[in-house]
Structure 1
């Protein structure tokens, strides 16, 4: 099985490397030529365009920033769809709205191409270690055909259902994460203003009903350490909440808490924190209230 990998960024590059290490013939393309050259040095076969790559391989994996870029790669000039062989499987591991994936799958089907979604959770460390959680939307036959590829890239592989299902569950998960983090920042601020220490709140909430992944993963390592490099960027969380709002309009589902959380991340972006870890939203509340939350673990 020859695999094409399009998108050699922070997530795509380590995933492509793991496929090479597993013995697959990997063809690589990215708009950043240096990224392709780097992958050639690791054993990949470079391609000058996405279309050139598509003509050579059996399976194509995409890890791209957003749905607009995915659509351009798939259907634009010299596109993947125009150069694929019939029977090619395209795996989109980007985070996009479910209806975007469904629309692309319909176009692919008209050309005899299988198009499935497989967004991931686990970050760059999970991509490097091959321990990602992968959420797959695909028919049973296609899922079984490419599952060995997923087994190289991830530890927890979930076949969610039909195309679009992977994007839907990733979107719901990240909605909860984003709202939980925004709520944690608010709660910490209120607690400090009421005279509580951050250390006390961490100790008590960690064994109480207010405990969350946001508290476990973000409070001590990022907020109390006053260290916001790495992690999951504000810009990415903002994008994922936007996908949820996009889906809510399609499905006519009101999301008032999500809409409020978006404004918290928008405020952080306005302060220039877009590339910082999402937990840096606590700075917004510090500035508004004068509360001292960061650095309490130093």
Structure 2
């Protein structure tokens, strides 16, 4: 008999991820803070639940996809949280991006109830979630990973078991500093081309064929040229991820200058009320610092 699945958190990422599980033929129990967020899933055949605890009572494997560390703590450990309904032998898969140390604490609490936890943050944005092509970075036991791997492969095409619980969150922080630093580098290259009177679109085309090629240059380089920052991944969420990374660096006594620079760019974006733009809008801050208007 196939396992019954639960999914909690049906926002810009969670909703398409849950829909992909439904389309793959899985029975799904869902919960979100807003009833309207559950309706597309109910229309597709999911059963709605009044609380995370109710999801856990009905499901064998429960996925969570919410915004930040306090949200995960509330959803899993709160008064009506998953821990109140989860049965021994069930698995909680948190796909949010949160603190690795908090993840370990939550896993310890669940373990006292005989419930396993995996941390499985993702990269790939809304488009990756819709297409089922996310990169999924997993921490936790090998046994739990093997159990849920076929489910993760419905939502992502690059699923890697990184290590023990919390390792997925560490990997996600690594991802965010690489992505952020590359966005900043591409923004500087586009600005240099434009300020030199050179066609930035042709510069991008040339760079795509060489060692500078990257997914960031391909997608976000075009966004910068077009001055089009409709969000695939909102700057305020990237800011939150960099805050988590900064806290981890402080715990470890690490100096990460590129991460600090990215955080400042994102702080400026959010501070100017632009937090709902894509994080590629770092280019707008760089333009402003150099006294230039966007060319798009």
Q: Deviation at 1:204?
A: 4.3
CA contact (8 A) 2:20 2:154 kept: yes
**Equivalences for residues 1-298 of structure 1 within 5 A:** 1-220=3-222, 222-295=223-296
Cα distance in 2 for partners of 1:181, 1:143 equals 32
Q: 1:79 to 1:231 in 2, by over 3 A?
A: closer
Cα distance in 2 for partners of 1:167, 1:196 equals 41
Cα distance in 2 for partners of 1:70, 1:246 equals 17
Task: In structure 1, list runs of 5 or more residues that go unmatched.
Answer: none
Deviates more, 1:7-16 or 1:285-294: 285-294
Cα distance in 2 for partners of 1:119, 1:240 equals 11
CA contact (8 A) 1:192 1:291 kept: no
CA contact (8 A) 2:52 2:80 kept: yes
Deviations 1:59-92 (A, max 9, x none): 1000000110000111111221122111110000
CA contact (8 A) 1:136 1:157 kept: yes
Q: How many residue pairs get matched?
A: 294
Q: 1:24 to 1:200 in 2, by over 3 A?
A: closer
Q: 1:198 to 1:5 in 2, by over 3 A?
A: same
Cα distance in 1 for partners of 2:150, 2:210 equals 41
Cα distance in 1 for partners of 2:212, 2:145 equals 38
Cα distance in 2 for partners of 1:100, 1:170 equals 14
Q: 1:294 to 1:215 in 2, by over 3 A?
A: farther
Cα distance in 2 for partners of 1:199, 1:71 equals 45
Q: Deviation at 1:38?
A: 2.9
Q: Deviation at 1:232?
A: 2.0
Deviations 1:23-58 (A, max 9, x none): 211000001011223321210111011111111111
> With structure 2 as the length reference, what TM-score do the two structures score?
0.93
The root-mean-square deviation of aligned C-alpha atoms, in Å, is: 1.8
Q: 1:210 to 1:293 in 2, by over 3 A?
A: farther
CA contact (8 A) 2:190 2:221 kept: no
Cα distance in 1 for partners of 2:175, 2:39 equals 35
CA contact (8 A) 2:190 2:225 kept: no
Q: 1:255 to 1:60 in 2, by over 3 A?
A: same
CA contact (8 A) 1:62 1:92 kept: yes
Cα distance in 2 for partners of 1:38, 1:197 equals 44
Q: 1:209 to 1:130 in 2, by over 3 A?
A: closer
Q: 1:20 to 1:200 in 2, by over 3 A?
A: closer
Q: 1:193 to 1:33 in 2, by over 3 A?
A: same
Q: Deviation at 1:197?
A: 3.9
Cα distance in 2 for partners of 1:109, 1:10 equals 30
CA contact (8 A) 2:20 2:155 kept: yes
Q: 1:184 to 1:29 in 2, by over 3 A?
A: same
Cα distance in 1 for partners of 2:287, 2:145 equals 47
